[in-house]
Structure 1
Amino acid sequence: MSQVSNITPQSQGVRKQSRSQHVLELARELLDDIELSRTPPENLILKASRLARWVGNDEIRLWLKREMGGYYVNCETSLKYMSLTGRWTDKENKRGYWGPLAQHEAAILAEKSKLSSMRTPDSSSDYALAAISSVTKSMSSTATYIATLSGIRTRVLALLHEFVSNVYYEKEFDSLAESIFENYKKEVDLLISQHCGDVLEKLPAVMDRLSDGDVESITHAMTTCRRIIESFADSIFPASDEIIEIGGNKLKLDASKHQNRINAFIHQRTNSQSRKQRLRQNLSNLFDRVSSAVHSESTAEEARALFLNTYLLLGEILHLDIRK
């Protein structure tokens, strides 16, 4: 017997939101770890690998895998990041520091310890001068080796920081955009319910059909979209036998003149000529595009854009303050 899923659209939204929030928090924590130097590099790589998996960045995941287990000559990503992290000593002959970051970290500590224990003889004898020269060369070689490995470490951390920063600010923007749209949507839904509740009832039907994505569903959705605009006109400015003059043009307001009646509503709600013109042009373009989409094969992306434009335009018109 098949089981009925308990996952509702609401629970899916919560799960999606939780995932997005988790990514944002993980990225923020990683940025602090890197910038405050509070976490060893190998631990940073493990956490960054988790972040890369959450955001689906396969290239970064593979690179970090190489940073944990070592680089390979027959791996394209390895060769790319050998260059980006400054590991080559002879790129043409494929010679370089192929080891993982943890190996280089250990080598840096060992070489620093070795360097700190080196001392030059105090005597000025020929034997001492030769010893001084040998020790000096050894110290210089060790310092150069430490500098090289430290440079690799710095480049790895810089690449990590760039990746994490991009994820963090992208998610921050997404979160802000979602918050702005959700707050605006609540306002628009309230205004629509107050002024034209029947329009609000038609919106779910459009969304359901657009989610199907097939040609017939898109055509039905666009037909409903056009009816929403017409129903909106009937609600905010009912048909009449009157004629209104706007900008020197006399407009009829009968039942078939939906755009005229919406423009009449706009005319009565704002004194801004530029806003009137912009809304009038947007309304005309939108009505033409929706009507055209009903009789042609529109893509799902275009249909969704038209629906969203319709919703936002109705909201902007309802937000107009009287005579402002």
Structure 2
Amino acid sequence: MVDQSRSEHILELAKELLDDVELSRTSAESLILKASRLARWVGSEEIRYWLKLEMQGYNSSNEISLRYMTITGRWVDREKRKGYWGPLAQQEAAIIAEQAKLHAMRVPDTAGDMAFIATKKVTDEMASSTSYISKLSGIKSRVLAKLHEFVSEIYYEKQFDSLSESIFERYKSDVDSLIGESCGEVIEQIPSVMSRLAEGDQEAISQSLTTCRRVIDSFADSIFPPLEETIEIGGNQLSLAANRHQNRINAYIHQRIDSNTRKKRFRQNLANLYDRVSTGVHNEVTVEEARALFLNTYLLIGEILHLPSNDA
């Protein structure tokens, strides 16, 4: 529940920030403060430090600071280390002040030499203010673009994670229900596998794979109990005896689907899976591989249980 709340909080904050940036509905200082909160949850150390620079101002002694001076277009003369070192809020305030100054400027409505000089002075000041505003606006635009890039990556990553979790949780609930109805013994063994995988040591991994194999065997016994007779599949007579678990699972599949291609895929997946969980009991297997084998077992059982019934 805590992880879910954290994930939801990150997604909500990222969405709010994207809207703030795209709709220009809040100040630069507010954006940076809010982005810093997001960065504390998921940002890299570099991003967190960059946002700190945007709040407190840049410096000439740090490599990240100098790199982001370039990224945000702050240099006036890089060789002489001249540039706009102030935080984003300072640049935004300077833009507002300069725009007000520019708005108040008026070209004198007089004639003569003095008027020419006065007019030139005003037009030069207007050009200077316009250039200054353009430079500062460029810095602000670059900062917002970098901020948008950071927030977008977080937002779409978390949105995908949330969607994936939602899809898997719905599927898991459905599979758990089918397992509970069709083969209760199987679902009772699943927590044991998960518990051992959480331990992570080699003995626990070996035990978890042993249980995975038992899960497959129990599954076979539940959906297709042993028979003394045989069944013909693909021109081969297959025994349905108690120790022929794969044959009985394949017989169950054979009775429910017509596609030979799909039957073959099921058969190969089952054979590979059974072989890996069986040999993994005696050979070294990483915890990541063991988790993948368990998940494959679970998903295969779920897919088989979703096949139509005999009278469908």
Do Structure 1 and Structure 2 share a fold, with TM-score over 0.5? yes
- Aligned mates of 1:91, 1:301 — CA distance in 2: 49
Pair 1:90 & 2:38 matched? no
How does 1:189-200 map onto structure 2 within 5 Å?
A: 189-200=176-187
- What are the superposed Cα offsets for residues 214-260 of structure 1, whole Å, 9 maximum, x if unpaired? 01000000111111111111111111121111111221111221111
* Structure 1: gaps spanning 5 or more residues: 1-13
Deviation at 1:56, TM superposition (A): 4.3
Give the partner amino acid of 2:149: E
Q: Which residue of 2 aligns with 1:186?
A: 173
Q: Which residue of 2 aligns with 1:322?
A: 309
Deviates more, 1:173-182 or 1:128-137: 128-137
Pair 1:43 & 2:22 matched? no
Give the partner amino acid of 1:92: E
Deviation at 1:58, TM superposition (A): 2.2
- What are the superposed Cα offsets for residues 276-307 of structure 1, whole Å, 9 maximum, x if unpaired? 11111111111111112111111111100100
Q: 2:188 aligns with which of 201, 208, 230?
A: 201
Deviation at 1:144, TM superposition (A): 0.5
> Contact 1:42–1:102 (CA<8 Å) still a contact in 2?
yes
Q: Which residue of 2 aligns with 1:173?
A: 160
Give the partner amino acid of 2:12: E
Q: 1:267 aligns with which of 254, 257, 263?
A: 254
**Alignment RMSD (CA, Å):** 1.3
Q: Which residue of 2 aligns with 1:153?
A: 140
Q: Which residue of 2 aligns with 1:120?
A: 107
- What are the superposed Cα offsets for residues 76-133 of structure 1, whole Å, 9 maximum, x if unpaired? 2212211111111222332211110111111111111111122222333222222222
* Structure 2: gaps spanning 5 or more residues: none
Deviates more, 1:278-287 or 1:214-223: 278-287
Q: Which residue of 2 aligns with 1:66?
A: 53
SS in 1 for 2:309: coil
> Contact 1:85–1:152 (CA<8 Å) still a contact in 2?
yes
Pair 1:133 & 2:116 matched? no
- Aligned mates of 1:245, 1:124 — CA distance in 2: 109
Pair 1:292 & 2:279 matched? yes
Deviates more, 1:165-174 or 1:218-227: 165-174
Q: 1:253 aligns with which of 210, 234, 240?
A: 240
Q: Which residue of 1 aligns with 2:300?
A: 313
So what's the TM-score if we normalise by structure 1? 0.93
- Aligned mates of 1:91, 1:237 — CA distance in 2: 77
So what's the TM-score if we normalise by structure 2? 0.96
Pair 1:109 & 2:96 matched? yes
Give the partner amino acid of 2:19: D
SS in 2 for 1:232: helix
Q: Which residue of 2 aligns with 1:228?
A: 215
- Aligned mates of 1:296, 1:217 — CA distance in 2: 13
Pair 1:18 & 2:5 matched? yes
Give the partner amino acid of 1:261: R
> Contact 1:270–1:322 (CA<8 Å) still a contact in 2?
no
Give the partner amino acid of 1:44: L
* Closer, same or farther: CA 265–278 of 1 in aligned 2, 3 Å: same
Q: Which residue of 2 aligns with 1:80?
A: 67
> Contact 1:115–1:142 (CA<8 Å) still a contact in 2?
yes
Deviates more, 1:153-162 or 1:126-135: 126-135
Pair 1:99 & 2:86 matched? yes
Count of equivalent residues: 311
Q: 2:226 aligns with which of 239, 257, 262?
A: 239
Give the partner amino acid of 1:174: D
